[in-house]
Homo-oligomer: A and B are copies of this chain.
Amino acid sequence: MDMHALTRSLKEKNDSKIVMLVADGLGGMPVEPGGPTELEAADTPNLDRLAKKGVLGSMIPIKPGITPGSGPGHLGLFGYDPLKYVIGRGVLEATGIGFDVGPKDVAIRCNFCTLDAQGNITDRRAGRIPTEQSAPLAVKLREVKIPGVEVFVEPVKEHRFVVVFRGEGLGGNVADTDPQKTGVPPLDPAADDYDSQRTADVAKKFVAQAREILAQEPKANGLTMRGFAVKPALPTYQEAYGVKAAAIAVYPMYKGLARLVGMEIVGQPNNLEEEIDVLGRAWNDYDFFFVHFKYTDSRGEDGNYRAKVEMVAEFDKIVPRVEALRPDVLIVTGDHSTPAALASHSWHPVPTLLAADTCRPDACERFGETEALRGGLGHFEALYLMPLALAHAGRLGKFGA
């Protein structure tokens, strides 16, 4: 029995409100021996007060040693086993630009490339053609018509764009057409299973028409297709947990990930303050709120320790506004660590805080990585954060008599 079978069978209704504040890439590292992490260095009076009242834990995003991308990181946070539910590259790319991938869709990451007169690839990325030049080409490819299939083409950045085919019987197991070298032609789309044969046929037609449309383009006269993927069959928050969930985020990627699990995207906030405005306005209409803050991750990725410290402090400042709404369960966490010292996502556990009247407080006095090691939630996998949230909200009944 997996955790969703359990939560589905035990879920109970009440009027409680759960807020999950996610500071992307929250976990960090010291930059000098014995020094503090970004979170520990930051001025966080509000989070420290919450830490004293609530319970801390050291959350493992996937499994020890595994560094998650944004997709698996968020799936884990949302309580979906990221090793069971894999979001294919095409779907993640489409999701990242705000495309709402549906159940009849197969999404594909495409690259513009350049071909010589014989049709062999001369540059696999079309010289990293600037977005201003590549975007109109992507839009032009919308002229492609394939009977029985809706075709969507969306520009991404530089040589990258997304194609989505919508129709019946389109499986997602088609091999990449990028041969990974120059001097040879792109591969023909080839199905890896019976259910994906139609997708491969559709892709072949797409490529043929696209090649005609692009034939005279000097910068990019060909394309390759990679990461064919269909939307994974994720149970929704409503099904799995019995909650009506809202997602509040600035960036399309996180809205898209939330949409995949059945959250409704509310508002169009441009920054954290506006996100909390949206939270307040949506308060009466939902049971669960996912609020995403991007910049802790961004500054970590930049390798800028001081700037990440400042972002944490900025994040801390909005906490009282959230508390003022009186959530029954307030969680503060991240989808993974992004230590400035590594300038990248990492596998390190994420300090996590849960405040609720029903929690058993621990001895933690402030919010930070070291303090979280002696927290009452112990070391736990992200997968269990949602069951813990529901339990503390009184939304899970007893298992067995």
* Chain A contact residues, CB within 8 Å of chain B: 1, 3, 6, 10, 27-30, 33-34, 37, 53, 58, 62-73, 82-84, 86-87, 89, 92-93, 337, 339, 342, 344-349, 358, 360-363, 369-370, 373-380, 384, 386-392, 396-401
Chain B residues with CB under 8 A of A396: 65-67, 347
Q: Can you offer 27 A-B residue contacts whose CB atoms are under 8 A?
A: A6-B63, A27-B360, A28-B360, A34-B361, A63-B384, A63-B387, A65-B384, A65-B390, A67-B391, A68-B398, A69-B399, A70-B400, A70-B401, A72-B399, A82-B399, A87-B400, A92-B400, A93-B401, A339-B360, A344-B398, A346-B358, A347-B388, A349-B376, A362-B370, A362-B373, A363-B373, A378-B379
Chain B residues with CB under 8 A of A360: 27-30, 37, 337, 339, 348, 369
What residue in chain B is nearest A10 (Cβ atoms)?
Answer: B66
Chain B residues with CB under 8 A of A369: 360, 376
Chain B residues with CB under 8 A of A58: 376, 378
The reply to whether B387 and A64 contact each other, CB–CB distance below 8 Å, is yes
The reply to whether B377 and A374 contact each other, CB–CB distance below 8 Å, is no
Please pick, from B64, B68, B84, B358, the residue contacting A399 in the complex, using a CB distance under 8 A: B68
Please pick, from B64, B65, B67, B377, the residue contacting A398 in the complex, using a CB distance under 8 A: B67
The reply to whether A342 and B370 contact each other, CB–CB distance below 8 Å, is no
A400 CB → nearest B CB, Å: 4
A167 to B374, CA, bound (A): 54
Chain B residues with CB under 8 A of A65: 384, 386-392, 396
- Say whether, besides A63-B3, A342-B358, A379-B378, A401 and B69 are in contact (CB < 8 Å): yes
Please pick, from B10, B92, B370, B400, the residue contacting A82 in the complex, using a CB distance under 8 A: B400
The reply to whether A92 and B339 contact each other, CB–CB distance below 8 Å, is no
Chain B residues with CB under 8 A of A70: 400-401
A72 to B69, CA, bound (A): 33
Chain B residues with CB under 8 A of A30: 360-361
- Say whether, besides A378-B378, A388-B64, A398 and B342 are in contact (CB < 8 Å): no
Sample of 13 further A-B pairs with CB below 8 A, known A58-B376, A65-B389, A67-B398: A3-B63, A10-B66, A29-B360, A34-B361, A37-B360, A62-B399, A64-B387, A66-B391, A68-B398, A68-B399, A337-B360, A378-B378, A379-B379
